[in-house]
Amino acid sequence: MKIESLNAWLPNQKPGSPLVIAGPCSAESEEQMLRTAHALKEISEVSVFRAGIWKPRTRPNNFEGLGEIALPWLMEVKKQTGLKVTTEVATAKHVELCLKAGVDILWIGARTTANPFSVQEIADALKGVDIPVMIKNPINADLQLWIGALERLNLAGITKLMAIHRGFSVGEKLEFRNDPLWKIPMELKVKFPDLPLLCDPSHITGKRELIQQVCQKAMDLDYNGLIIETHPDPDKAWSDASQQVTPSTLASIISSLAIKKESSQDKSYTNQLNELRDQIDRLDNELLHTLKLRNDVVEKIAKAKIEQNVTALQKGRFDQLMKQRMDAGEKLGLGQDFVKEIFDSIHEQSVQTQTNLFEKNKK
């Protein structure tokens, strides 16, 4: 993908400082919009004002935004404060209205990202238009779906792209509203290092008291910025009241963040880092060698099963193995989720190795 740097479309962004986008979840009135925007203007780190005009909801009869009527309010925010403005679009009609009004940046929400037909409709509506577009991750944990949405916009000629990590919907009840699953945005960052990445702690947490810690985590992972829902009176907000913060709270969150440097010129640090990376390389090579030896044993097991006409997969054995490995990992200070993910992959490879030998034996 051809992607322009963040500085190309936000030239006034301070190098080394996170981009901060803030504003209410929903546009409720012109007074609410302007009140919020003027308060945000006093926070130097905030450079873009956000507000939802169209709000996709799971069920009808919930507040779905005021629609087109709120676009002039967004433009008034831009006129009075000088902040760039952004809102969510989900259809070609939304795009047309926003472009006509003069909205600076568009974003595509998680529900829309999950539907390639909807993303393509938006991409087609943007052909020949030079406007920044931010794309939230899909609701489900599907990196390829997220990449696909970015590629559709890129193929339409949009090079000012940004990804927004807003967490993923999972079955079990967690501390957060949406599971961050940090490894997915990190994979995206590795695949597309030039793609700016924002964190949306409001939707990840669903609770304003947890926002700061997620913001700090994002900064530790070298995200380019944050998009935080901000309302002058969050408890009275028409949507997502529990995850919005006041402008003063936003200022406190931003000032509390420890922004880490991408690198250091200190020679002793560089030497130490190189030595430690050499250790990692050696350990990784040993790990790969051990995995190869393990796979050789798996092949011997498969041959023994073939001789005795025993199935490749034995569920009881896997459950026992997983419990033993997770208990051993916990004693070593390794997280259970980490150990489980590793041994799930190892087991999958083991089953594949045995299945392949079983298939060969049939021939």
Which residue type is seen at 286?
E
Which residue type is seen at 82?
G
| pLDDT score, position 173 | 66
In the predicted model, is pLDDT for residue 132 greater than 80?
Answer: yes
- Centroid of chain to Cα 276: 29
**Residue-wise pLDDT tens digits, 291-318:** 999 989 988 888 888 888 877 666 677 7
In the predicted model, is pLDDT for residue 220 greater than 80?
Answer: yes
CA dihedral of residues 259, 265, 270, 272 (deg, nearest 10): -70
Contact by Cβ (8 Å): 167, 178: yes
Average pLDDT over residues 234-249: 94
| pLDDT score, position 360 | 81
In the predicted model, is pLDDT for residue 231 greater than 90?
Answer: yes
| pLDDT score, position 352 | 87
Spatial CB neighbours of 217, under 8 Å, sequence gap ≥ 6: 180, 182, 199
3-state secondary structure of 166: coil
CA atoms within 13 A on the CB side of 325: 16
The enclosing H or E element of 19 equals strand 19-23
| pLDDT score, position 61 | 65
**Residue-wise pLDDT tens digits, 56-105:** 766 676 676 788 999 999 999 999 999 999 999 999 999 999 999 999 99
Average pLDDT of the chain, as a whole number? 90
**Residue-wise pLDDT tens digits, 26-49:** 999 999 999 999 999 999 999 999
Q: Which fold has domain 267-362?
A: Chorismate Mutase Domain, subunit A (1.20.59)
**Domain regions of the chain by residue span:** 6-256, 267-362
| pLDDT score, position 310 | 79
Contact by Cβ (8 Å): 39, 232: yes
**Packed helices 116-125 and 92-101: angle between N→C axes, nearest 10 degrees:** 30
| pLDDT score, position 75 | 97
CA atoms within 13 A on the CB side of 6: 22
Please state, for a pLDDT cut of 70, what percent of the chain lies above it. 96
Compute the C-alpha angle 219/88/237, nearest 5°: 80
Q: Which two tokens stand for residue 258?
A: 């420890």
Please state, for a pLDDT cut of 90, what percent of the chain lies above it. 61
Tell me the C-alpha distance between 230 and 5, whole Å.
26
Q: What is the DSSP string of 307-362?
A: HHT--S--HHHHHHHHHHHHHHHHHTT--HHHHHHHHHHHHHHHHHHHHHHHHHHH
Tell me the C-alpha distance between 284 and 269, whole Å.
22
Q: Is the pTM of this model over 0.85?
A: no
**Comparison of pLDDT for 176 and 362, the residue scoring more:** 176
In the predicted model, is pLDDT for residue 290 greater than 80?
Answer: yes
| pLDDT score, position 244 | 96
Tell me the C-alpha distance between 250 and 7, whole Å.
23
Cα dist from 149 to 222, 291, 304, 319, whole Å = 23, 36, 48, 38
Contact by Cβ (8 Å): 168, 184: yes
Tell me the C-alpha distance between 24 and 241, whole Å.
10
| pLDDT score, position 319 | 82
| pLDDT score, position 219 | 94
**The CATH classification of domain 6-256, taken from the options 3.40.120.10, 3.20.20.70, 1.10.630.10, 2.130.10.30:** 3.20.20.70
**Residue-wise pLDDT tens digits, 140-155:** 999 999 999 999 999 9
3-state secondary structure of 243: helix
Tell me the C-alpha distance between 206 and 31, whole Å.
25
Nearest to 106 by CA among 235, 29, 9: 9
Q: Which residues of 296-312 are buried (b: 16+ CB within 10 A; e: fewer)?
A: eebeeebeebbeeeeeb
* Per-residue confidence band for 363, with pLDDT thresholds at 50, 70 and 90: low
**Residue-wise pLDDT tens digits, 321-362:** 888 998 998 888 998 888 888 888 988 888 888 888 888 877
